[in-house]
Each structure stands twice: as C-alpha cells, then as structure tokens.
Structure 1
C-alpha cells in the first residue's frame, strides 16, 4: 500500500482538513502519479457540501489533476515514468455498455455508471441491481492529494506546449465546454452565446473563438463585460432588455455555464430556428419554461455532461495548438477553504489551481 496525504472533509458543514490514507499499489495496467497541480472546480464545492445529496464521506475532491508518472505497471504501454500526464473526472467505466463501446464513457449505462475520480461510482451500491458496487469500492479519493493511481487508458497526455499549472482546469472546465461546442457543430461563422463568465465561461469563449465563432457573453457583472471583450467576445449584462431585443433570433447555439439553477426563458427567444440552448454548469433542477417558445421555431433545450476520454485528449491538444489556456490563480493547499468561500462569492478570475508542493511539508510531518 502507498501512504498518502490529502485534504478532505468528513461532513457537509465542515471545512477540508489534512487526511492521511492509503492507496493501492499500481496494478499491471495502472500508473502511479505524483500530483503536481490540481484545479479547484465548483463541482468540488457542491460535492463537499453535499448539494447534490450523493456525497460519500470522507470526501477528498479534485478531478483536474496534472502530475508525473512515478511508476508504470508491467502491462502499461501508453505512459512511462517521467511522463507529464493528466487525470480528469473519470478513472473507469463499465467498458461493456453501448456508450462505453462507442467511446463515450461519460454516459456509461453500466450497473454503477462511470467511476468518478472522487466520491466513487455515479450510482452507489444500493442502487445497483444486485446491491453490490461493480468497482469494488464505495468511495474514491481525488486529486487534493500527493499521489493517485489510475488505469492507463483513463490517463491523458499533457502537451508540453501548455503551462503545467494551467493545464489542470482543461481536464474538466475545458472538456465540459469543448464537448458540446463540438457536438452541436460550432464552426467558423457560428454565432454562439455563453451564459455565465466564470471558469467554464472563460474556457467556452476561448474555445469557441478558436473554432471561428462569433461569441457573445451574458453576465450579471458589468466588470466582466470588459474582460469578455478582451477575448474578442461581445458582452451583455443580463437583464438588459434593449440588448436582448436586438439579439432576438440571432444565435446558432447558446451554452450555459452557470453552476446553479437559473431561468432559461430569457434566452430562448435569442435562438435561431432549430438552434439549441445547452446547460452544462447546473446539475440542479432548471426552472420551468414556456414551451411555446420552443415549438414555434423548433428550438431545443439540452444538457451535456463533461466529455469522453478521447474528447479530453482532443481539447488538451486543441488548446496546445491554438495557444489557449485558462486564467488561473495558484494557491497552496492550506488556503483551500478560503478559496471555496471566494468561489461561492464569485470573487475569483477565473480558476484556482492548487500547487501540491505545498502539501510536502505536511506529508513529511505525518
């Protein structure tokens, strides 16, 4: 067993604290990775605070992991010791269902769905047909730690052209926005709206612009309008009735990155005929909408969940090719609880990334 240390919470109402634990040694098809950086996702906060009602405690978040391979199993062929690699939201899937065999593991329909990098399977053992956990575990510990062990085919290659610390959020924020932009055919000449301009919105604008789209950002903050314009996007403050009226029937695709429940109705009239409004940021219930707005122009409301392993590698390579990187603020692990507070208050531009070198002193003392 590998002695490990990370930051976790044991309750929804307490902050994250150091937690010593053990990881299993790398098997024949697995790699051991020293974690160098880990992004802080809004989903980490939702999970730690049990906002979705499915958290398994202790909860050790972290699914935007960048690190170095320190050990490779005997059957590993994709990675070698010393490689710079990444681990995103998933570390396994059933591999047998239709989505898995078609390369869309994030829509796994197996007994427990896909295995999350932390907080265990998407479906707990109690919901499985036979009451057993198909992955042999009820919980997993994520990247707010010094080491992870992952099956080689769920490990990504991080291009050397990317700043190491900035590569981390691409593994979630990047692929979560890239996947729907790709699926709904955003290309040169497309007119795209991005609702919300936080960590996901920032990446959505950069990716859509690199695809050749014309982009408009909808935000509640006047200050963010100027930031969006610096990226080549137009900016609109939500609730500006004059601006909304001028944008009616304009957009080929609108991507919502808001991480909470929010109203859809203001945006549906802005879609062209046959266009789609896709929500990726919110797993909570979306409030009701006027179906007449959809029916009259055959518009669609949709959702998209993270992205596949293949798409995650694609977006890493795409970002490296186009010189795209999220704007990050690097923090020590000891400031994680303050970071959570600032994220909830909307007081961060745009993504926190934890420097795991800050964990070494505590590891040596443990």
Structure 2
C-alpha cells in the first residue's frame, strides 16, 4: 500500500508553498525507501514551481538535493541496505536502453531522464521531490553518502556539487589551468571549492566585491567585480574555462572575451530567457560556448567521494520547513550564504 507522508507543496505558480500530505508508492523489488533528513533549496525549485520553464502539474513538491537514511529495501535490492546514508539528486530514472544510458550518461537519456519532481515516471505517476518526509526511488538512482560528510552539508552536493563538478572534470580543470567562476551563490561557491581542490587557479567574477572575503576563504586565488568595466579589459583572453552559474541573463559576449584561445564558457545556470551570443565572440579565438547538465550516477558518486576526501561540503543555513517561503524570497534576493537546507524532521 502507498504511504502517506507530510510535505510542503506549491499549490499554484503564484501561491506560497503550503503544508500538505502526499503518497509515496509501495516499495517494489528494486526500490529503496529513504527517510529524508535534509533537503537543499535550489534555484531550480523556484523556477519550476513558478512555471518559468513551462507548465507543471499542481500541487507540486520540489526538492532534488536529498540526503537521508534507507529505511526499507525491495526484495531484489543489492546496492543499498537499511541504515545506509544515501542521497538522491536531480533524476530518479531513465530509459536504461538508449545509447546515452548505455554509455553511463543517464542525465542525457535520449528518451528523457525522469526528474526527481515535476516529471512523469515510468509507471505514469508524477514525481514529487524532497521537501517531504520520505521518498521511494529505484536503487540505481540512489548514491552513497560517505561517512566523512555530514548529511546537511552533503545534501546540496546532489545538485550544486555535481552540476559544477561535472563540467570542471569534463573540460579538464586542474594544475596549470585557469578557471573563472561567474556568480558566488549556491552553485558558484561549490565551483570555487571544487576547482581549487582540483588544483586550478581560480578567479571569481561577481557583480560586486561584497563576497570577496568568502571567495578567497573558499579557495579563490583572485576576485573581481563585473560591475567594474575595467575587469573585462584587464582579464581579456585569460581563462581556459569559465563556469557561468548565474540563472539570469548576462552579457555572454563580454564573458566570452575573457577566454583564451580554445577556451570554453560553460553555462550551468539556467535562465528562463534566451541568451544571445555574437558568433564573432567565438570565431577569432576558437572559443566554445557550451552547456552542462548535472552528471551521471557514477559521476555523482565520484563527486561525493572526492568531496569526502578533500573535506568539502556546502556552506549551509539549516531552516525549519515552516521557513521555506521566506527562504525562497531570500534566494531570489541572493541573501543566502550559500545554500538553504530544510531540516525535514520539522515536518513531523
């Protein structure tokens, strides 16, 4: 029988989240039931719930930065056991059959990966996310959280961590490379930590210098204000890789000018509006403009193990569930350092 659990849901695009109950499916042979301990608040939660990326079905429970403990496993589960510390990120299923799934890139499933919320699962149900007491997920899409990571600081790694780790790894951030991070928010602060741990020379490009002390503390070698026009003159042609974490329209041509020959600007921030780019920002220096979406399950596990090895967790502000609407407003105002995490025990 399905299990009823407490959650916070968006009843409509223009309404605040409300306390409610939802049903979680019975545990199937390959399923894992997780008691959620912490759920991170991602800007994507707000975009989705407010319909910025297209229509969704309401009521909607968001949250795809989930850390908790296994409380039940299906009869044929081999990857996880009751009591394991685990996490769930931005996807809970994929077709398993297409070329990308077979290659271990489930996030790029050619038939569409199943998002942790606001998606249609393989059984026809609408997925509901982590602002809730429990979740049931097929074992292949559950990752192990190392003992060295506390669950509250680990939760944001399931989105903010992997979303920045994957492009840093893919485009070769490491010793001898110069990496710039645009934006010092939830994603940006993790990009700084990860790029530094990989051995790159790291520069933060932020609107102002108000977070400069934090940026340098987290591992940045340099910090510049993009509101100062001299920044773009002084840094022209400097970087091998730029990770743009901003979920708003920016002047891409200005940032592309900061790339060295063969440099790449990767967008991981996902604004609702188009981002125009001039082709002559790319051609003269053989520059690339790319995008990257989270990471595979294997890469997410690799990222968690890397973070445990290097002592990296998100900088978090833990809140009660009844503070979620205030937290969303603060996220929109960039008033968080650097990730809100819901203590889901407050849902009881």
Q: What interval of TM-score do these two structures reach, taking the shorter chain for normalisation?
A: over 0.9
Distance 2:73 2:331 in 1: 36
Q: Tell me which residue corresponds to 2:331.
A: 343
Which of the residues 193, 204, 212 maps onto 1:217? Answer: 204
Query: How far 1:239 moved relative to its partner?
Result: 2.9
Query: How far 1:283 moved relative to its partner?
Result: 4.4
Which of the residues 277, 288, 292 maps onto 2:276? Answer: 288
Distance 1:297 1:21 in 2: 53
Q: Tell me which residue corresponds to 2:151.
A: 164
Q: Tell me which residue corresponds to 1:44.
A: 45
Q: Tell me which residue corresponds to 1:150.
A: 137
Q: Map 1:1-366 onto structure 2 (within 5 A).
A: 1-110=2-111, 113-121=112-120, 135-233=122-220, 234-360=222-348
Are 1:33 and 1:69, in contact at CA under 8 Å, matched by a contact in 2? yes
Query: How far 1:21 moved relative to its partner?
Result: 2.1
- 5+ residue gaps, structure 2, are none
Distance 2:234 2:148 in 1: 41
2:11 match: secondary structure = coil
Distance 1:56 1:316 in 2: 32
Distance 2:69 2:304 in 1: 16
Query: How far 1:299 moved relative to its partner?
Result: 0.4
Instruction: Tell me: CA distance 1:241–1:221, structure 2 relative to 1, closer, same or farther (3 Å).
Output: closer
Cα deviation digits, residues 71-92 of structure 1 (max 9, x gap): 1111001100011100001100
Query: How far 1:290 moved relative to its partner?
Result: 2.3
Q: Tell me which residue corresponds to 1:364.
A: none
2:327 match: secondary structure = helix
Distance 2:238 2:250 in 1: 21
Q: Tell me which residue corresponds to 1:363.
A: none
Which deviates the most, 57-66 or 238-247?
A: 238-247
Are 2:208 and 2:227, in contact at CA under 8 Å, matched by a contact in 1? no
Query: How far 1:174 moved relative to its partner?
Result: 0.2
1:145 match: secondary structure = coil
Distance 1:293 1:52 in 2: 27
Instruction: Tell me: CA distance 1:187–1:235, structure 2 relative to 1, closer, same or farther (3 Å).
Output: same
Are 2:37 and 2:69, in contact at CA under 8 Å, matched by a contact in 1? yes
2:330 match: secondary structure = helix
Task: Please tell me the root mean square deviation across aligned C-alpha atoms, in Å.
Answer: 1.1
After superposing on structure 2, the runs of 4+ consecutive aligned residues of structure 1 that deviate more than 4 Å are none
Distance 1:68 1:105 in 2: 24
2:290 match: secondary structure = strand
Distance 1:287 1:152 in 2: 37
Distance 1:359 1:265 in 2: 46
Query: How far 1:57 moved relative to its partner?
Result: 1.2
Are 1:261 and 1:282, in contact at CA under 8 Å, matched by a contact in 2? no
1:26 match: secondary structure = coil
Query: How far 1:243 moved relative to its partner?
Result: 2.7
2:289 match: secondary structure = strand
2:8 match: secondary structure = strand
